[in-house]
Amino acid sequence: MRLEKIAAQALERVGYDRYLLSVAVAKRANELALGKEPLVDVDVKRFKYTDIALMEIAQGKLQIEVERNGRR
């Protein structure tokens, strides 16, 4: 699947909030860089951590919680 389509699906999953998506991707990519296992079946040598994070979000493998007014 093309990365543009994956990004569009991920954006849809976060309610079209680009800021929220960018923060979620950055946090998950950092976790992957520190050694966490991907939640999707991909070759980690072939894809960037940010691409893997986008795939995970697009496939609904990650739950993204939004904290508002100090409450979740």
* Residue 63, in any domain of the structure: no
pLDDT at 67: 72
Domain that holds residue 12: 3-58
* Residue 70, in any domain of the structure: no
The whole-model pTM stands at 0.86
Number of independent structural domains in the chain: 1
pLDDT, averaged across the chain: 91
Residues 6+ apart with CB under 8 A from 61: 39, 40
Question: Per-residue pLDDT for 23 more than 90?
Answer: yes
Where residue 71 falls among pLDDT bands split at 50, 70, 90?
Answer: low
* Residue 51, in any domain of the structure: yes
* Residue 32, in any domain of the structure: yes
* Residue 69, in any domain of the structure: no
Residues 6+ apart with CB under 8 A from 32: 38, 44, 49, 52, 53
* Residue 9, in any domain of the structure: yes
